[in-house]
Structure 1
């Protein structure tokens, strides 16, 4: 690509496109996000694991073993069949797949194993064979590279071979017997294969994703990552000091982590970050980026300003200079006399350590540099000689007052205030995507996602046509056969066959609308057949339900005419409405049933199930409120009596057992004496 990176050419939408590795990776992650529906949930036990060292060969892996087989068979096919497999990408890809399969088979079989590919090129079938010993001879140079990272690992960790208690291997390529033998020979012990070689890394990644995601709750699992490649900073020199280099993050340094570096500068300066060991980095360029700290100026007294730069490696291992600030001294005035006496001129300390060009403050990730603390560490000048002499010369308050009258008032001395000024940083990154380029990639991926959505809709429309053809063809010889006449039956079958042929010929790659139109054409004929079948299934059930409701309301009307006590409270005019509705609906049902009986099954029905359902609803709404009227409540009888004598109030008596309908009767001398002459008046409803 133009920036020196790796590009991948692919055919997309009948055009050749060039995608970067970052774009392809983003596409892969997006696809994985769409297809991942089930999440792996495994119990987690408490454990503490430390990674003492890492070593690897970026140019040694399973693909290299596959390439050895591919090169061997390409040469064999060129001699044996006069075919150049490398001239056709599709043929070469098929050869890669077969060689990978052969490699896996040789891991468990030491005998000769065949390799057969049909119609490899020019309609020719090719074949070959290979055994494990031949394969190990082909890969002898690769097998020698296995021990190199092992020696490097032991050197990093400062361990001896006897200090290693167990060796566990993961990865598909570790199944090759020669690889296992090399590792076992180096450590002098049998190797363990208890982990799933193919899924061990994937499960670890899934667990880490669950830890980072707020949508999942997992047991607390603290992971401290490490910086695999040491990172250094180099800064440009000024007129007084030479260029400097400092390693800010060593190999296997904890991450995420932040450090604060202090520089003494009079103007803007530049920092360049790079990997300290270019040979160990699997990238063509060791530089990370250039960072320019702007708006730096000297102090008002001409001295250098202290600039604090915060460098950080985040949880993804990405290095950046996050913030920069300048410590500036600003004079202020105080109104209080005591503050004036305590205020003293500040000067930079006469400390040889400050002459150094850089200071390093280690801090935990996420903490801020201690700007105020650094400012407070500056030394203070001794008290002014004027104040000292005055204290020695004036022994009492009277003389002091006389002197103050004679002398003019003393000017207030300024107090120095330390201010932290944020500085802008211009970042020129080498391998990290710029904002404009990143936005362009996001926009391109968005367009591709939309195109995938349109393609899915097109395929769904095509599949709907194909599904409709197969479904109706089967049902025309089954349940739908009676609901279409013979002539239409033959014509529709012919149309279904023609549509199927069209799908596999000129209609194989059509626009979405073409499939939608084709489906509508089929449904114009098929839908009436389907409706007739469904009506024939539902209509008898609806007629039966309607008949039951008619019988129910007709019986109630008959009971009313027979003076049944259950319905004698209903008004006669209301019941006539019920009888009228029942007669009308019954007449309608008899008419449509007779008309439907004259129709054949392949004709459209006279009445549909929904119409019958509507009649049932109409009948219920008319009759149900009438026949379900509750009987009026009968009030309980009340007794009244009038007593002779001065008390003329009416009292209610208990006329029925324990049922008291009023107050207690009057008492005389503690006993109840009912009046024999009292009359009982009862109101009956």
Structure 2
């Protein structure tokens, strides 16, 4: 976050932030126009009327859609996850504010598709928090018991959301949600900024709002001040050096002043809470716990307002900053087959009521039906039945436009095609399936026309739905009941009507949605993102090559005046130092922006001089240790050879010819080692060594290969003599098998059998 703050100030016009709320909105949307004034970068209209961001990319001006900007962020998150997991990432769960409309949700799904991520679910923020809370709870009531009611309150950077959830063991149900989409931590920051802007203008005759960088710095300092006031009630100073025109500015504020300044914002907290309780028909006594998350809930006044409303202390057991992300990660693990996670059922709620509008066959009349009420369970599907002679249109819209924080109440139009009258001219029965899916998006998912068929056509067709089967069973039950009651009058039963068998014919649906990227445009964005990812990879490799040269220059320059000083002669030292200084100057001038290969070649030229020095230093470090180890092994094997000559019992079993090989090898290696040490003694440290560590390692390995198998030969095993048992020659029976037979008792003397008794044992044999 600190790195982002620095970038936002140093590259204010080219750092994009706070763009999530532009998804699925037109450029001329009032909300977009209002936000546009607060941004340090430029917003421009796209050809499709959407929101575009103008930035410099690869030293050229580019315009990217908000979907592309989000895709860039997702690409970075994907790379970070893959780097930590050491595995490719394909599946994900993305959080969205509970108040996002269908258009905003579809736009975010397009962003995931641009990156190549398979979004398993768009999860509402508060539902993710609830899952994070409930999945670890071991004391939730059983399914048949009264659920535990928990209210979750989230005030983040730009929005205020609340939800009530019912928990039972291994499941949660969202009872309702409420929100203020325009109340968040940034509003409190804005109050401080406005206050200090007025103070600075009055005190220093400077207007921070005229300079983007100055205003961004003030926002950052005010955010820090807000956090400090959350933990301190005393006056907190605000100091910014070289704020504008090399002028230092200062100010101060305490918590009570801050709360007075934000009184109107604090009053807005109660409205969503009241709305939630009204929707769910809950009383404050019904609420078992209140959990708060989000950075802005750390403001004491915010926390106090929430606690006062519910009449109980709020709980902060969840991580305020990570609760939503953790919930999404858990949901992704549950949905993905790659992980084994405790099962936990999640039933979400539809935030806005949705209705369908259609034209009836009567002139100038329309039919309207609310298919999903507010807080209806989701995901959920419903089947509607229409009777039509031709294609017809359905229009989906939000029933309460004033309650939706989006300027367009329409969701989309759906044309049910290929509908035709029956052969007898009657209207056809058309079944339309509408659905709110796991992403919280409404759709007319399928449509089918029910056609009667002749008996010979009935093979391999679906003749009845489950509902129709149940209805037929009920009709038959009442038919037989009627027949039983009328038997007294001996009335003849009516002839049984033959079954009318039907088949369902799938109908194509043409959807015209309020906001959706065309396939061609989406494919173009996918291709562009792929090119940029590749360009980023090449740029990273170029920067890595440049950084490698820079690191080599700094590292070697320091070591030349330190540990490497003794390993280079004066002439080479001066020449190499001059080359390092020259390379450093080149890096920050004409070599600032060169191709990767140029940096690679530059590094290779430096290493031609640096590697021999580095090698001599490493050799001087390793060589004495290896020679010492070799000397110890020689002494070890020579000692064993000496003990063998002295007829030591430990080695007497070794063949003499084998031991002679050991003596010969030891003698040869001793001679080689003496010559190597002698040759090396004649070399100075700034000369290449006479013997290298690799040679010593090879000689040590050779010595061990020859000597170790000989000196570690185990002694041959000698079998101990066995005592003969004369009984084994006379009978197949053993003495221990004789039991308590008196005739088998053998007189013992000093624990042994008498010699005279061993051959005179009486045995009863059948």
2:76 corresponding residue in structure 1: 31
User: Is 1:518 aligned to residue 640 of structure 2?
Assistant: no
SS at match of 2:275: helix
Aligned partner of residue 237 in structure 2, secondary structure: strand
Matched, 1:92 2:215: yes
Which residue of structure 2 lines up, in the alignment, with residue 105 of structure 1? 228
User: 1 CA distance for matches of 2:49 and 2:194?
Assistant: 28
Equivalences for residues 584-595 of structure 1 within 5 A: 590-595=674-679
Return 5+ residue gaps in structure 1 as ranges.
Answer: 336-345, 347-367, 381-413, 635-655, 665-685
The answer for the alignment partner of 1:44 in structure 2 is 137
Shift of residue 577 of structure 1? Answer: 8.8
Partner of 2:314: 192
Q: Alignment partner of 2:180: what SS?
A: coil
Choose from 419, 423, 428 the match for 1:305. Answer: 428
Q: How far did 1:527 drift?
A: 1.2
CA distance in 2, matches of 1:454, 1:632: 66
1:259 aligns with 2:382: yes
Match of 2:690 in 1: 606
- Cα shift readout 1:439-460 (whole Å, capped 9, x = no counterpart): 3333333334334433443443
More deviation, 75-84/292-301: 75-84
Partner of 1:361: none
Change (3 A) 1:4 1:536: same
Q: Partner residue of 2:63?
A: 18
Q: Counterpart in 2 of 1:536?
A: 620
CA separation of 1:524/1:422 partners in 2, compared to 1, >3 Å: closer, same or farther? same
Q: Which residue number corresponds to residue 445 of structure 1?
A: 529
2:440 to 317, 342, 349: 317
Q: What secondary structure is seen at the aligned counterpart in 1 of 2:454?
A: strand
What is aligned with 1:276? Answer: 399
User: Counterparts of 1:73 and 1:627 in 2: how far apart (Å)?
Assistant: 86
Structure 1 segment 381-530 matched on structure 2, within 5 A:
417-500=501-584, 502-503=586-587, 507=591, 510-530=594-614
- In 2, Cα distance between equivalents of 1:431 and 1:109: 47
Alignment match, 1:678: none
Contact 1:227 1:253 in 2 (8 A): yes
C-alpha separation in 1, matches of 2:300 and 2:661? 95
Given that 1:311 and 1:319 are in contact with CA atoms closer than 8 Å, whether structure 2 keeps it comes out as yes
Q: Distance in 1 between matches of 2:690 and 2:452?
A: 98
Q: Distance in 1 between matches of 2:637 and 2:283?
A: 99
Alpha-carbon displacement from aligned partner over 1:403-452 (angstroms, at most 9, x marks no partner): xxxxxxxxxxx996422222222222222444333333333333343344
Task: Spell out the pairing of 1:140-179 with structure 2 (5 A cutoff).
Answer: 140-159=263-282, 168-179=291-302
Contact 1:168 1:191 in 2 (8 A): no
Residue aligning to 2:32: none
Alpha-carbon distance in structure 2 between the residues aligned to 1:114 and 1:369: 73
Give per-residue Cα distances to partners, 1:312-363, cap 9 Å, x unaligned.
Answer: 111221112222222222324499xxxxxxxxxx9xxxxxxxxxxxxxxxxx
Q: In 2, distance between residues paired with 1:185 and 1:629?
A: 85
* Residue 4 to residue 633, structure 1, CA distance change in 2 (3 Å): closer
The answer to whether the 8 A contact 1:265-1:304 is kept is yes
Q: Deviations over 1:49-75 (max 9, x none)?
A: 424432222222222222233233334
Matched residue of 2:276: which SS? helix
Contact 2:197 2:208 in 1 (8 A): yes
Q: Say if 1:293 and 1:493 are closer, same or farther in 2 by CA, change over 3 A.
A: same
Contact 2:447/2:508 (8 A) holds in 1 = yes
1:72 is matched with which residue? 195
* Contact 1:170 1:195 (8 Å CA) reproduced: no
Contact 1:229 1:281 (8 Å CA) reproduced? yes
Query: What secondary structure does 2:179 align onto?
Result: coil
Shift of 1:257: 0.8
Distance 1:625 1:179 in 2: 79
Matches within 5 A, 1:560-571: none
CA distance in 1, matches of 2:265, 2:714: 97
SS of residue in 1 equivalent to 2:439: coil
Alignment length, in residue pairs? 578
For the residues of structure 1 that align with 2:694 and 2:627, how far apart are their CA atoms?
Answer: 11
Structure number, greater radius of gyration: 1
Q: Report the 3-state secondary structure (helix = DSSP H, G, I; strand = E; otherwise coil) of the residue aligned with 2:394.
A: strand
Query: Which range moves more in the overlay, 167-176 or 66-75?
Result: 167-176
1:229 to 340, 352, 355: 352
Q: What is the CA RMSD across the aligned residues, in angstroms?
A: 4.7
Q: Residue in 1 aligned with 2:35?
A: none
Q: Is the 8 A contact 1:331 1:417 kept in 2?
A: yes
Distance 1:627 1:92, change over 3 A: closer
**CA offset at residue 116 of structure 1?**
2.4
Q: Provide the C-alpha distance between the structure 2 equivalents of 1:251 and 1:77, rounded to a whole number of angstroms.
A: 48
1:102-161 per-position Cα deviation (integer Å, ceiling 9, x unaligned):
333344555554332222233332333444455445444434433333333333233456
Q: Does the 8 Å contact 1:259/1:311 carry over to 2?
A: yes
1:561 and 1:98 mapped to 2: Cα distance?
86
Provide the C-alpha distance between the structure 2 equivalents of 1:550 and 1:218, rounded to a whole number of angstroms. Answer: 59
- When residues 274 and 525 of structure 1 are mapped into structure 2, their CA distance, relative to the original with a 3 A threshold, is same
The one of 330, 334, 338 equivalent to 1:211 is 334
What secondary structure does 2:187 align onto? helix
* Conserved 8 A contact 2:185-2:296: yes
Question: Aligned to 2:373, which of 243, 246, 250?
Answer: 250
Contact 1:469–1:500, Cα closer than 8 Å, also in 2 = yes
Tell me the TM-score normalized by structure 1.
Answer: 0.70
Pick closer, same or farther for the CA change 1:191–1:612 going to 2, 3 Å: closer
Which moves more between the two structures, 466-475 or 216-225?
A: 466-475
Would the alpha carbon gap of residues 133 and 416 (structure 1) be closer, same or farther in structure 2, given more than 3 Å must change?
closer
CA distance in 2, matches of 1:163, 1:620: 80
Distance 2:190 2:288 in 1: 35
**Contact preservation (8 Å) 2:380, 2:435:** yes
Residue 379 (structure 1) shift: 10
- The verdict on how the C-alpha distance between 1:16 and 1:280 changes in structure 2, with shifts beyond 3 A counting, is farther
CA contact (8 A) 2:434 2:443 kept: yes
Q: 483-492 or 270-279: which moved more? A: 483-492
The range that moved more, 508-517 or 308-317, is 508-517
| Structure 1 residue 287: Cα displacement | 1.8
| Range that drifts further, 434-443 or 527-536 | 434-443
Give the secondary-structure state (helix, strand or coil) at the position aligned to 2:695.
Answer: helix
State the shift of 1:250 in Å. Answer: 0.8
Confirm or deny: 8 A CA contact 2:654 2:713 kept in the other structure.
Answer: no
Tell which has more relative contact order, 1 or 2 (C-alpha 8 A, sep 6+). 2
The alignment partner of 1:296 has SS state of coil
1:528 offset after TM fit, Å?
0.9
Check 1:333–1:455 CA distance in 2 against 1; reply closer, same or farther (3 A cut): closer
* Structure 2: 5+ residue stretches without partners: 1-44, 86-131, 141-146, 148-164, 167-173, 477-497, 731-766
C-alpha distance in 2, partners of 1:318/1:570? 89
Task: Select between 171-180 and 517-526 the one with higher mean Cα deviation.
Answer: 171-180
